[in-house]
Structure 1
Amino acid sequence: MIDRRGALLAALAAGWTGTAAGAQIPAPRGAGSAGPGLPDPAETIDLWPGNAPGMPQVPPVEVVDERSTDPALPDRAVRGIVRPRLAVFRPAVANGSALLVTPGGGYARVVIDKEGYELGRWLAARGWTVFVLFYRLPGDGWAAGPDVALSDAQRAMRLIRHRARSYAIRPDRVAALGFSAGGHVCGDLATRWAASTYAPIDAADRLSARPDAAAPIYAVQSMTRPLAHAGSRDLLLGRQPTSALEAAHSPARNVTAQTPPCFLVHAEDDPVVDVGNTLEFRAALKAARVPVETHLFAQGGHGFGLRRAAGKPVEAWPTLFLAWAKSLGFS
């Protein structure tokens, strides 16, 4: 019998090849840290020079909560992010492809282990350069309001392209992938990449923020009831948003012919984010003739990432993602 958790840990550990070069902010430390054999990335990139734009009068304070009782499988969630940044996973040999990962957390936190670092290690072992985004949260009072996470995602895409040569990646092979509420950030980026959400500050901001491909995974998408995930909707838009505000932040309402090809994954038994979110987004993509690949699984629940998919049919999704990306020209 194969110990699936042990195999997963070994695969994740094999994917990490961090470097201290250019490190600016240490990775967050929780009670469990990264677990045995699973070091945190040593390299981070600040998104903004100095303070991030639109700082609240009372800045948030970053807190790391360790939610796991198993020291071998940490499950850290970060809230109160005041210095948005990218944690970088460098492969031993870069294949030229890059991925921006936006973890979930219901817009109340950013879940960095099971929806960020684990995928970073797994893909780095396969040649991808992965950037996990610590994005600001809309409930913390930033001036950009519901656009604050999108601002960070746009800036991250531009910085990745601006530094493409130093990471041995191609600027036309930069994809985005997000989970749950981070899937909403990903969908928002895929549909509103050209929206003006912050004032340009340097040469990087002259580059496009459009991902070359996007993969919202069990994603929050609709901000309209009954499909909307209530907690994410309230934190993003407030408790009584107008219908216009709901539409402005529902990716299906903002799909155009310029939306990049999309890869969608959802479990039909998801008790947290209704699978109708993915179906509605897919319908909008099809109507706009945007290429879309969709995988629906009968079982999987919510928040499966990599670790909770093991032993179920849904564990195939990362391999399916790689095959789809390859069909688009990603290595």
Structure 2
Amino acid sequence: MKKLIFLTVFAMSVNVFSQDTIIPLWPKDKIPNHVVSDEKEEHVIEDILRISKVQEPTIEVYLPSKKNATGQAMVIFPGGGYRILAYDWEGVDIAKFLNSKGIAGIVVKYRLPSVVSQTNQEDVPLIDAQRALRLVRSKAEAFNIDPNKIGAMGFSAGGHLASTLGTHFDEKVYTPIDEADKLSARPDFLTLCYPVITFNQSSTHKGSQNNLLGNNPKPGAVERFSNEKQVSANTPPTFLLHATDDTSVPVENSLVFYKALVENNVPAALHVFPTGGHGFALGLQDPYLRTWPELLFGWMESLK
């Protein structure tokens, strides 16, 4: 009997103090722009977890202890060129690191554009991004976060998606389905790490552009998703991070977004490291590059 009581109490404690929860973004039969098909989600684990062909998008929630919580949260969009999601490298690992600073980390497994399982596939990542921000905001009390301190963070193509959310948060791209969709999708701040920003330029990451818009984009699509052209005074304060020697997504992407922010009087911080290449995530292998999270935390503390 004592053993049974111990096991019951232990199980309850694990349930109460579990730090991660996976929540569907949408009710299964109400996923916008979804087409029933034979396409299946794929998970490949090598040095990192790569997820492709996402069919049922989710958020995975990592929370700090209540005693350490700052009330801030970061909704995280992993990169992967709109072809795959570098899910742990630029998602789960980042969320856990944020937890160490008292910040909630919410990783979004968003849908990647597909001509097989979606209609108007260029809108689908933004649809999931808006929903993710709204859903997190709707659960602020349950997550022990401030609904006015929720940021969006993205890496590479995930940075493009986060910057799209930051410049298209009030664009109607899906029909509301519940109370969460009545809330604002505007992030309170943005963190863009070696982001794809601009399309149809010499500095464009062609893979991201082609995967999102196709080889023959619809009229106006290139302009619409060149996010430096969509910045306004209502774009959230933004922290930008890049490496000068990034040959995949040139640093000019961050520079043009920073310039647009300054021109619109949006508070912005830009940190360009001399080396690091592309896709360095936390940059833990480099003693200089790995200092960037501390710059981010200091900037977050400065936000009003």
Name the CA shift for 1:166/1:63 in 2 (closer, same or farther; >3 Å).
same
Question: Does 1:63 find its partner at 2:42?
Answer: yes
Question: Does 1:196 find its partner at 2:169?
Answer: no
| Structure 1 residue runs of 4 or more that deviate by more than 4 Å after TM superposition | 18-21
AA paired with 1:91?
A: P
Question: Does 1:82 find its partner at 2:60?
Answer: no
Name the CA shift for 1:279/1:287 in 2 (closer, same or farther; >3 Å).
same
Q: CA deviation at 1:314?
A: 1.6
Question: Does 1:97 find its partner at 2:75?
Answer: no
Match for residue 50 of structure 1?
28
| Counterpart pick for 1:279 among 242, 255, 263 | 255
Q: CA deviation at 1:298?
A: 0.6
Runs of at least 5 residues in structure 1 that lack an aligned partner in the other structure? 1-17, 24-40, 69-74
Q: Counterparts of 1:162 and 1:64 in 2: how far apart (Å)?
A: 29
1:312-327 pair list within 5 angstroms: 312-327=287-302
Q: CA deviation at 1:144?
A: 3.6
Residue identity (%): 37
Secondary structure (helix, strand or coil) at the match of 2:22 reads: strand
Secondary structure (helix, strand or coil) at the match of 2:191 reads: strand
Number of equivalenced pairs:
288
Q: Counterparts of 1:140 and 1:211 in 2: how far apart (Å)?
A: 29
Q: CA deviation at 1:260?
A: 0.5
Question: Does 1:106 find its partner at 2:84?
Answer: no
RMSD: 1.9
Name the CA shift for 1:50/1:315 in 2 (closer, same or farther; >3 Å).
same
Which of the pair has more CA radius of gyration? Answer: 2
Secondary structure (helix, strand or coil) at the match of 1:86 reads: strand
Q: CA deviation at 1:67?
A: 2.4
Match for residue 72 of structure 1?
none
Contact 1:300–1:309 at 8 Å: present in 2 too?
no
| Counterpart pick for 1:184 among 148, 153, 160 | 160
Match for residue 28 of structure 1?
none
Q: CA deviation at 1:105?
A: 0.5
Contact 1:265–1:296 at 8 Å: present in 2 too?
yes
Match for residue 216 of structure 2?
240
Q: Counterparts of 2:200 and 2:289 in 1: how far apart (Å)?
A: 28
AA paired with 2:133?
A: M
Contact 1:158–1:204 at 8 Å: present in 2 too?
yes
AA paired with 1:108?
A: R
Secondary structure (helix, strand or coil) at the match of 1:138 reads: coil
Question: Does 1:231 find its partner at 2:231?
Answer: no
Q: Counterparts of 2:157 and 2:59 in 1: how far apart (Å)?
A: 18
Match for residue 213 of structure 1?
189
Q: Counterparts of 1:209 and 1:281 in 2: how far apart (Å)?
A: 20
TM-score (norm 1): 0.83
Contact 1:144–1:197 at 8 Å: present in 2 too?
no
Q: CA deviation at 1:43?
A: 1.0
Match for residue 15 of structure 1?
none
Q: Counterparts of 1:120 and 1:277 in 2: how far apart (Å)?
A: 25
Name the CA shift for 1:89/1:210 in 2 (closer, same or farther; >3 Å).
same
Secondary structure (helix, strand or coil) at the match of 2:242 reads: strand
TM-score (norm 2): 0.90
Q: Counterparts of 2:119 and 2:71 in 1: how far apart (Å)?
A: 36
AA paired with 1:324?
A: W
Contact 2:33–2:121 at 8 Å: present in 1 too?
no
Q: CA deviation at 1:271?
A: 1.4
Match for residue 253 of structure 1?
229
